[in-house]
Amino acid sequence: MKTWNFKNLKGKKFGRLTVLSMMPKDMWKNGHSLWLCQCDCGKKKQVPSTMLYQGKTKSCGCLNLEKLRGKLGILHPLWKGGKIKNHQGYIMIINSTHPKAATNGGYVKEHILVMEKYIGRYLLPGETIHHKNGIRNDNHIKNLELRLRNHHPTGQSVEHDLIPYWIEMLKTYKPEILKQVD
């Protein structure tokens, strides 16, 4: 019968990980104890003791993501000045304090930032930005148009998109104008 020899790591800290408890022995890897750890960011991760001792695992993965996302700025070899192009062709700008940044790894679409600067406020729920020429990385203010989500189909059509869109915009932002027409 094999006897297990291990140090109790419960409560110890390794990088961003705090050891919560030891995992059952049937889950151990190659005879090395496996520990349930909680990262400073709140996520939990199972880590073999050797990875903790050798310093090969320092977080749940959030540390590497932060480095990749530019939170360490010019210190990271993949740093591109805080500006990247996503898989949809939109330009993304690092701006970790923006309300939309939390869902995009610290990045915000550039056209959103351009429009918000132009109108002097954050976008309201249901507002979107349309690229008039259809080019997703052309973020000049003259190419951008503020729209409501339910009036943002692809392409441009006066009779199907623009007239209903402007009626909805007037209802939302200038209802007094519509009262004058009635």
Mean pLDDT of the 42-49 span = 88
Distance CA 21, CA 17 (A): 12
Distance, in Å, from the CA atom of 123 to the CA atom of 144, rounded to the nearest integer, reads: 13
Cα distances (Å, whole numbers) of residue 8 to 1, 24, 54, 175: 21, 13, 16, 68
Q: What is the pLDDT of residues 111-122, one digit of tens each?
A: 999 999 999 999
Q: What is the pLDDT of residue 152?
A: 56
User: What does the pLDDT read at residue 6?
Assistant: 60
What are the residue ranges spanned by the domains of the chain?
13-61, 73-149
SS3 131: strand
- The pLDDT tens digits for 61-111 are 877 776 665 455 555 566 667 788 888 999 999 888 888 887 777 889 999
pTM of the full predicted structure? 0.46
Model confidence pLDDT, tens digit, residues 123-156: 998 899 988 777 899 999 988 989 887 655 566 5
